[in-house]
Structure 1
């Protein structure tokens, strides 16, 4: 079975997101833990979260994905920004303990001229500060397109962060199809080779989620501009191979394409039609 969902707004609550997911044929979804361009967060409502847990169990949801805000930059050269990142991540992870089968995804951040090695050290330190023994949530590093001074622009940088994390059982990766394509990994013509590289450098056992997005830009552009499925430079044929690949087909897929709810419903239906049971 293809496990697929899209990005939904938490503004109306957790149970509402679960109901919205079901209404468009999804069996999972992604949401921002707090204002994606700021840091404000909804009041904690454990009853609402428990109601979502019951709905997900009843309808056999795949793991859902909590996305950290874009403002979270644990490797910034500015100490104030790094402090915010640590405080936001620590708070997010405490809150997510109330949700069942939830993973936490974040962009590693930008080193802003300090160099990737320094950025990697800062990110690992943040993770080791915020993660705690016994936590339910697996934290996922997202693969990045490599624009500017982003850390995580290749599999080697992701692996270098993971190697420094103390709680190895709670760390994994979310692969973004647009990001890796824009980052220079040819998932259109050489998907097997890309996955072999991932396995060699990181390990496929670390791969826990896929952001499934087409790209407005060509291979290796380092631009990070998402496109609707089949309307970009990755294309339908490649996505058919991706969702059916033996190493990927059982993973949850999350759409982050430029869509409203009806558009997501269309893409979910399209991808389900391409999935080989």
Structure 2
């Protein structure tokens, strides 16, 4: 099975038909709302909404599985680091202490710490689906246009667009180089020992890096010959005007952010505390 990276999936769904600028505004407000709140009730409702949108988008798991696995690895490392460096953070936040069982020294598992880390995990899994949806339902050219529309320099926006377009090329080059290496007897499968697999993969990455550098030089020369960056403004071929659905989505996320903020701070704290 081929490894699939985080690339645009050209499907026909309500999310794909939204303009890139509307989706960018939605994602920014969504991410800010999730970062602000530690209210478990708000996060659970937002997570359910995100999962529904992921279902509506018709995107398959294989389209983002590789990136999701990487995220889960860093997710687990982050939670381990939280407990190692601050095992009683939940106790200090919620003002109570209910011990479950000791581990060693100051490392004691408490209900407050588990609830705090559950909320941290909930914040991650609430943002990740929206980030994946934004990347997978927005064509790179339209993504660049949306960045420029919200005030980012078109030079930066175009660089982001090229980077996103380049992901499938890197993936294809890696697969071609890996197939050529395997044809010469270089094994990178699980049948080989881990140390030898790492050495063999390094042998594949080196020509991949050289190929990438060569392509970057070609693109840079082509853009320089066309006087890219000479003017302060530019138009976008893939830019789309707002429709009623775009305005509806923006109003919806504003309402979600407002309701979540009210529920979060109605008791004077952004931490939902079930222990009091």
Would the TM-score normalized by the shorter structure come out above 0.5?
no
Larger % of strand: which? 1
- Compute the TM-score of the two structures, normalised by the length of structure 2: 0.25
Q: Which has the higher contact order (CA 8 A, sep 6+)?
A: 2
- Compute the TM-score of the two structures, normalised by the length of structure 1: 0.25
State which structure, 1 or 2, has the greater radius of gyration over its C-alpha atoms.
Answer: 2
